[in-house]
Structure 1
C-alpha cells in the first residue's frame, strides 16, 4: 500500500438518484487507523467552450437550484452510460444552444471536488459553429437562455459573479491566455 493510500474496507450505497449515488465507506488510513468517507459517485461530464465565427463565446443562462440563483455557463452536461466525451460534447452543444460545430478539440479534464466526489469534467473547444434549424431537444427539466458574449463581456461577468462556476471560469481564462499568446 502506498504511504498515502486509503484502503476501502467496506462500502455501502446510501443514496441512488438520477445523477449521483452516495457511498459511505469505511477505510483504513496509512497509519493503520480507520475512518469513514462519504463519496459522491458521478458518471462524469463535458463542458464546451464554443466560439462563433465572430469570436463570441456561446453560453447559457440558467437557474441553479443548489445556488438559488441564475448564473451564466458554457454548455455542459452529464455523460450517458458508455458515451464518449466528444459525442456528449457535440450532443450537449446542440441541445443547449442549437449549434453544431465543424471542429471539436479536447483541451483537458479535471476533477471538480476530489475531496468527496469522483466527478470528472472533460473540456472541449468547439469552432466552426452553425445554427441548426431543428436542433435536438433539451432535457425536459432544463430551461436556458442563450447568450453570446465577447471575451471582455465574459471577464466582466466573472467579476460580477454572473459567471460563478469553475468550468466556465476556466473557459474564460483559457480564451484570455490564448488571446495573450496570439498578441505577443
Structure 2
C-alpha cells in the first residue's frame, strides 16, 4: 500500500477527562502532518471478544439484551470485554459460559473488528465455537439477557431487515456467510495467528 507517514498524527500530550467504572475517556493533543496541532477525544478500551456459537444442528447461539444508550433490546452474538491480563480465547470461553451456559469443544479464531474507530481504540476478536454442550449460565450481577438459537437464514434476514443493527453481529454474519459458502475458511486449532495475538 505504500508509506502512510503523510497521514500519521504524532501524540504530544494527554488529558484524562473521565475515569469511570467502565469508560476511560481522554483528550490527546496531536501534531498533524501539516505541523499544526489538534485535539482528539476518545475512549480507551481493554478489548473484547465475540463468539459465534455453532450448535450441532447448524443453528446459532444468539442473545437478546437491553442496551441502555439506545433504549432498545438488541439481538446479538455473545460478547464481552477482556479482564486485565486475560487472553482472547480465555475471555471467549468465559463469556460464552457465563452468558449462555455453553462450553465448546473446538474453537477457531476468525478475525478482528474495530467498531468505533473515530472515538475508541476498542478491538473485538471474533471467535467461532462448535461442539457445544449446555450447562448453567453464570450471569454477572445486574446482567439480564435471553439466550435463543436461530438459523443462519434467520440471521441473514434480520440483518437485511434492520432487526439487527449491532455492528459486531453484522460483521459476524458476514463471516458466517462466507464460511458457509466456502469462500473463507477457519482454522479450528483454537490459536490466533502470531501477527494478531495479544
Identify the TM-score tier after normalising by the shorter chain: over 0.9
Aligned to 1:126: 129
CA distance in 1, matches of 2:161, 2:65: 16
1:39-118 alignment to 2 at 5 Å? 39-118=42-121
Structure with bigger strand share is 1
Is 1:25 aligned to residue 31 of structure 2?
A: no
Unaligned ranges ≥5, structure 2: 184-198
Contact 2:113 2:168 in 1 (8 A): no
Aligned to 1:172: 173
Cα drift, residue 49 of structure 1: 0.5
* Range moving further from structure 2, 107-116 or 123-132: 107-116
* Range moving further from structure 2, 158-167 or 1-10: 1-10
Give the SS at the match of 1:40: strand
CA distance in 1, matches of 2:145, 2:162: 18
Cα drift, residue 164 of structure 1: 1.1
Unaligned ranges ≥5, structure 1: none
Cα drift, residue 159 of structure 1: 2.5
Residues 37-88 of structure 1: per-residue CA shift (max 9 Å, x gap): 1021000000000000111010110111111111110000000000001000
TM-score by length of 1: 0.93
Residues 64-118 of structure 1: per-residue CA shift (max 9 Å, x gap): 1111111110000000000001000000000111100001111101211122210
CA distance in 1, matches of 2:179, 2:11: 42
CA distance in 1, matches of 2:118, 2:63: 28
Cα drift, residue 178 of structure 1: 2.0
Cα drift, residue 162 of structure 1: 2.4
CA distance in 2, matches of 1:14, 1:68: 25
TM-score by length of 2: 0.87
Is 1:4 aligned to residue 23 of structure 2?
A: no
CA distance in 2, matches of 1:161, 1:97: 24
CA distance in 2, matches of 1:88, 1:109: 14
Cα drift, residue 3 of structure 1: 2.0
Aligned length, in residue pairs? 180
Cα drift, residue 153 of structure 1: 0.9
CA distance in 2, matches of 1:179, 1:27: 44
